[in-house]
Amino acid sequence: MRGLATLIRAAVVASLLAGVALPSAAETADEYPSRPLHLISPFPPGGATDVLGRIIGEGLSRRLGQPVVVENRSGANGNIGMEYVARAPADGYTLILVTWAVNPSLYKSPFDVVNFVSIMQVSSSPGVLVVHPSLPVHTVQELIDYAKAHPGKLNYGSAGIGSFGQVSAVMFSLMSGTQMTHIPYKGGGPATTAAIAGEVQLLFNDALATMPFVTAGNLRAIAVTSRARMPLLPDVPTIDESGLKGFDNSAWTAMGAPAGTPRPIVEKLNRELTEILDSPSIRQKIAAMGADVIAGTPEQFSDYLKTEIAKFARIVREGRLSVR
């Protein structure tokens, strides 16, 4: 409660310093938005979060009648963008694409996903487990057998400590009893390039970044990380059905706002996003990214977020992950 009160006070102070008043009841109910909105993507341009943000931003702009400016504020596994939004006025004009629930367990910072008002979960996207073609494995079980026969000799790349790729690999190692060596890179692009070049032997990565190289034969897809198979890769089994029962890890994206954002604004944004995500053209664009539309209420995402934070706290603890 003390952290929430601190963030609310910070939002009030920031709004006063900026010369922007918190929204009146009239604006909250009838006039919002009366000026452009800013949607913060806490990761670099060109990635899945950025692409999804621009799809959603365009839809919101049309429905709300105001420009929605997508800003990339990347760094520290998303913490820089989250801190920026946590300090913004709680007036509904600064929003964020929340994408990860591992940060509360990795970083000693008051600015994490629990400091934001949930608006809606937007999408969920399974990752793809790929290997370099030179690695003599074609199934999950063959990978496990190879890793056990060569403990610590297999290198896997990721977008950095705490990234989806690293956490997925740690989950895999914990559940399979294998040892692999983590090679962090400065982003998913460099990690993918390293896998194609054979600098690392395997990679857990998002479908959008990986599919072109699987199709071209530069990488071999042996499994997906969700419980259900991907429509884009119908012949590739899940890790769960390949023997590691219970394995389930998908990259998700949700929209949030600073703590203290008025409930009427949250509800309006939720309604507008629901209409946007019901559009067949928007669903098609998101499906082309290898993701599924989720939608739902703010409360549904808040409950899901709590389970995700608890899951990753266990993985960070048992996998001994650290940013130091």
6, 104, 111, 176, 283 from 316: Cα distances, Å = 27, 10, 18, 16, 33
Asked whether the predicted pLDDT for residue 102 surpasses 90, the reply is: no
pTM: 0.81
For the residues 312-316, what does the mean pLDDT come to? 92
Q: In this predicted model, what pLDDT tens digit does every residue of 144-195 receive, in sequence order?
A: 999 999 999 999 999 888 889 999 999 999 999 999 999 999 888 899 999 9
DSSP 238: B
- In the structure, how many helices (H) and strands (E) does the chain have? 12, 10
Three-state SS string over 141-195 comes to HHHHHHHHHCCCCCEEEECCCCCHHHHHHHHHHHHHCCCCEEEECCCHHHHHHHH
Instruction: Please provide the DSSP assignment of 86-142 as one string.
Output: HTS-SSSSEEEEE--S-HHHH---S-SGGGEEEEEEEEEEEEEEEE-TTSS--SHHH
Asked whether the predicted pLDDT for residue 88 surpasses 90, the reply is: yes
Return the structure tokens found at 250. 């998908």
- In the chain, the amino acid numbered 159 is A
Residue 211's pLDDT is 86
Residue 118's pLDDT is 93
CA–CA gap between residue 193 and residue 166 (Å, rounded): 16
- Confidence label for 11 from pLDDT (cuts 50, 70 and 90): very low
Residue 15's pLDDT is 36
Q: In this predicted model, what pLDDT tens digit does every residue of 250-299 receive, in sequence order?
A: 989 999 999 999 999 999 999 999 999 999 999 999 998 888 999 999 99
Asked whether the predicted pLDDT for residue 12 surpasses 90, the reply is: no
Identify which has the larger pLDDT, 112 or 46: 46
Residue 30's pLDDT is 67
Residue 92's pLDDT is 95
Structural domains for the chain: 2-125+250-319 (3.40.190.150), 126-224 (3.40.190.10)
Q: In this predicted model, what pLDDT tens digit does every residue of 235-253 receive, in sequence order?
A: 999 999 999 999 999 989 9
